Structure 1
Amino acid sequence: MQPVLPPQGPSPRGQLRLVVGSALRQPGALPALQSTRLLDRVRERIRGLHYSRRTELAYLHWIKGYIRFHGIRHPAEMGGPEVEAFLTWLADARGVSASTHRQALSALVFLYAKVLQLELPWLQAIGRPRAQRRLPVVLSHEEVAAVLAGLEGLMALFGRLLYGTGLRIHEAANLRVKDLDFDHRALVVRQGKGGKDRVLMLPQVLVPNLKAHLKSVHALWLQDVQEGRAGVFMPDALERKYPRAGASWPWFWVFPQATHSVDPSTGVVRRHHLHEDSFQRAFKRAVMAAHITKPATPHTLRHSFATHLLQAGYDIRTVQELLGHNDVATTMIYTHVLRLGGGAVCSPLDRMTGFARSE
C-alpha cells in the first residue's frame, strides 16, 4: 500500500539537524516506554520529548508509510538498505521535494534512535537531496487586495489576519481568545515554529471585525458548556496541570469549527479549530476569480507581508522578529525579491530613445 503524502510539516530541515545530530551524539538513556504497540510507543516518545502535534502527525505518517512500503515488516528487522529504498522511491516514483524527503528521513531516524534505540551505523551513508533555493511567490498590493476581496465571511477575516500579521496558516488556526490583546493592539503567537512565542501587531482595521466575530464565537463556547461538551484541545503538560482550562473561555479557539469531531489523539469528541484545508480551498477560488496566474497559496500572504514591509522601509531585523525566523539569512530571501523587476536594474531597452513606449 502506497503512503499518501502529508501536508508540509514543521521545519523539516531543522528537525533533521536536531534528530540526526542527537542520534550521532548518542545521548544518555531515554526513559523506558510503557506502551507495547510500535506506533503507540512512537506517540509516547514524541509526547515525552514535547514535540509538537504537527510533528507527531507527520512522523507517524512517514513511519506507517515506511512499514507499508516494505510489506508490513517490523522496522527492527530492517535498517539502512530499507530506509534508502523507501527514500529513493519517494524521490524517484513520487517526486517529493527535498524538504519532504528530509522530513521522511528525520521521522525514520527518530524511530530508530529514539524509539527502537538501535545503533545507526548506516546513517551517514543515507543520501540527502540538496535543497533548491527558490524565490518566494509574492503578490503586489493590488493582487492581495483582489484576492482578499474574493473571500467572504469568516474566510475574509482569516485571510486579512494572515496578510495583516504575517502569521503562518496553522498559527492563525491555533489562536486562542486569550492571545488577542485589543487594549495593546497585540497578538501573541504561542509555540510557533521552533516552539517559540512571539508578539505581533494587531491591525487596527481588524479590531471591530474581530470583536464582532468573538461575540458569535462566545455563543458557540457557551453552547458547548451548557451541553457538557469536552473542552478544546490542550497541550499535554497544560492538560495535566490545568485539567479544566480546556473548557474555559480564554482557551477557546478564535476560529472554531462549526461542528464537533473526534480528536484523533484521544478519541474524545470536541470542537476543533478551523481546518486549514477549508481556507486553502477558499483562497484557491479567490486567486482564480482574481485572474492571478502566480502559483499563490495562503503562505503567499506571509511572503507578501514581509516583502511589503521591506518595501515600506522597515529594517530586516524587525521583519525577522515579526516572522519568527531564527536566522536573519532566512529573512534575507525577501531582499532578493525586492531587487527583481521594476525595483531592480533598469533594462537597456527602456533607455533607448528609438523605441516609443507602448500605450
Structure 2
Amino acid sequence: MDGSDALLAQFLAHIDVERGLAKSTVKAYAADIRKYLDWLDAQGIKDLVDVTSHDVESYVAALDEAGESGRSKARRLASVHEFHNFALRQGVVADDVSSRVKAPKANGHLPDVLSVDEVIRLLDAASMGGSDDPVVLRDKALLEFMYATGCRVSEAVDADLNDMDVDERVVVLTGKGSKQRLVPLGEYAIKALQRYTTIGRPQLESKGKGGKERRAIFLNKRGHRISRQSVWEVVKTAGERAHITKPLHPHTLRHSFATHLIQGGADVRTVQELLGHASVTTTQIYTHVSPENLIETYLTAHPRAR
C-alpha cells in the first residue's frame, strides 16, 4: 500500500521508543498490522485513506474464514484499531473507520469486576478512618498496592522491599515462570506505602526473628512474610466494612485494575504487559466493557495514578 510501510515504521517506533512497550509486543503489533496491510493490498486497496469500515469488517470475516479463534480475531482487530487511530493522530486520514468495527465476542465467563466507586469504598474501608495501627496501615498499603499494580496475590506476597522504588514510583513484580516486569505505582499507592513502611512496618518487623523474612514488603503480626490466605482475609474484611455485595477475592482487584485501565483508554497490549500475560488474547477479555479505542497508557488511564 502506498505510504503504509513508512507509516507502519513510524507507528512501531512510536510504541517502541515513546511508549516503551516490550520488544515482543512491538513484534506482535508489526505482525498483526503487516497481515492486515497485505490483505488490503490483495483487495486492491492501495491507500489507507480509501479503507472503509466495511473493508475492516470484511477483514475480520476473512480471519474467521481462515479459522482463527474469536480471541485471535479480537487481538488482530485491536492492532488494527491502534494503527488506524495512530494514522488519524498523524493526520494521514480524516476518520478512524476501524472505530466502528467491534471485536467479536469471545466465549467464556467474564471476570468479577468492581466499579471505580466500589474500589474507592473498599480502599477507604481498609484505612479505618486513618488509623496508625500497623496492621491497618499494612492492609491499606496492601490493597492500594494490588489495585495500583494489578498484581497476582502471589506477586504481592513475594514482593520484597528492594523490588520497590518509591522515588521512581515503580515496582518489579515476579510472575509466572519467574518472569519479571516493571509496573508503575500511582500516587495513592505511594502515599499508603510510605505511611506503612515508615510507621507500621517497623513495628511489625520488630515482632519477628529477622532473616530473609525482613525483606518482604508486607509482614504479618508476627513479623513474618504475609501469607496468601491472610491477603484473602484482608480483602474479605475490607469488603465487608465497605458493604460490597459482589463476589470479592484478591483477583477481583486485578480484574478491576485491567478493566478500569481499558475503560480509561489504555490499549490492550499495554495492559497485557502490566498484567504479565504471556499472550494478549488472555487480556482481550477485559475489552468487553469498553467500546472505545484503546489508546492511552497507564498513568493517564488509571483512576488512582494521579
Q: For the superposition of Structure 1 and Structure 2, which TM-score range results when normalised by the shorter chain?
A: 0.5 to 0.7
Matched residues in 1 for 2:210 and 2:194: separation? 25
Label 1:138 to 1:199 Cα distance change in 2 as closer, same or farther (>3 A): same
Shift of 1:232: 1.9
Which of 174, 179, 188 pairs up with 1:205? Answer: 188
Count of aligned residue pairs for this structure pair: 176
Equivalent AA in structure 1 for residue 277 of structure 2:
H
Label 1:134 to 1:258 Cα distance change in 2 as closer, same or farther (>3 A): same
Give the percent of matched residue pairs that are identical in Structure 1 and Structure 2: 40
1:258 equivalent to 2:250? Answer: no
Shift of 1:223: 7.0
Q: In the alignment, which residue of structure 2 is the partner of 1:74?
A: none
Query: Unaligned stretches of 5+ in structure 1?
Result: 1-131, 234-248, 260-270, 344-359
Instruction: Give the conservation status (yes or no) of the 8 Å contact 1:232–1:272.
Output: no
Matched residues in 2 for 1:211 and 1:292: separation? 27
Instruction: Give the conservation status (yes or no) of the 8 Å contact 1:307–1:337.
Output: yes
Q: In the alignment, which residue of structure 1 is the partner of 2:179?
A: 196
Instruction: Give the conservation status (yes or no) of the 8 Å contact 2:112–2:247.
Output: yes
Q: In the alignment, which residue of structure 2 is the partner of 1:144?
A: 119
Instruction: Give the conservation status (yes or no) of the 8 Å contact 1:307–1:334.
Output: yes
Instruction: Give the conservation status (yes or no) of the 8 Å contact 2:144–2:192.
Output: no
Label 1:214 to 1:289 Cα distance change in 2 as closer, same or farther (>3 A): closer
Q: In the alignment, which residue of structure 2 is the partner of 1:313?
A: 265
Equivalent AA in structure 1 for residue 220 of structure 2:
Q
Matches within 5 A, 1:1-359: 133-152=108-127, 153=136, 154-190=138-174, 192-215=175-198, 216-218=200-202, 221=205, 229=209, 231-232=211-212, 252-259=215-222, 272-338=224-290
Label 1:218 to 1:294 Cα distance change in 2 as closer, same or farther (>3 A): closer
Deviations 1:103-140 (A, max 9, x none): xxxxxxxxxxxxxxxxxxxxxxxxxxxxx821101111
Corresponding residue SS for 2:176? coil
Equivalent AA in structure 2 for residue 254 of structure 1:
I
Q: Which sits farther off after the overlay, 177-186 or 314-323?
A: 177-186
Shift of 1:170: 1.6
Instruction: Indicate the structure (1 or 2) with the bigger Cα radius of gyration.
Output: 1
Q: In the alignment, which residue of structure 2 is the partner of 1:47?
A: none
Equivalent AA in structure 1 for residue 239 of structure 2:
V
Label 1:290 to 1:325 Cα distance change in 2 as closer, same or farther (>3 A): same
Q: Would you tell me which structure has more helix in proportion to its own residues?
A: 2
CA-based RMSD: 2.3
Shift of 1:198: 0.3
Matched residues in 2 for 1:257 and 1:286: separation? 16
Q: Which structure is higher in RCO with an 8 Å CA cutoff and minimum separation 6? A: 2
Instruction: Give the conservation status (yes or no) of the 8 Å contact 2:144–2:188.
Output: no
- TM-score under structure 1 normalisation? 0.45
Matched residues in 1 for 2:156 and 2:247: separation? 22
Query: Unaligned stretches of 5+ in structure 2?
Result: 1-106, 128-135, 293-306
Deviations 1:178-229 (A, max 9, x none): 0111222110113x123200000011233233223223434655675xxxx4
Matched residues in 1 for 2:234 and 2:219: separation? 17
Matched residues in 1 for 2:144 and 2:194: separation? 15
Matched residues in 2 for 1:184 and 1:274: separation? 25
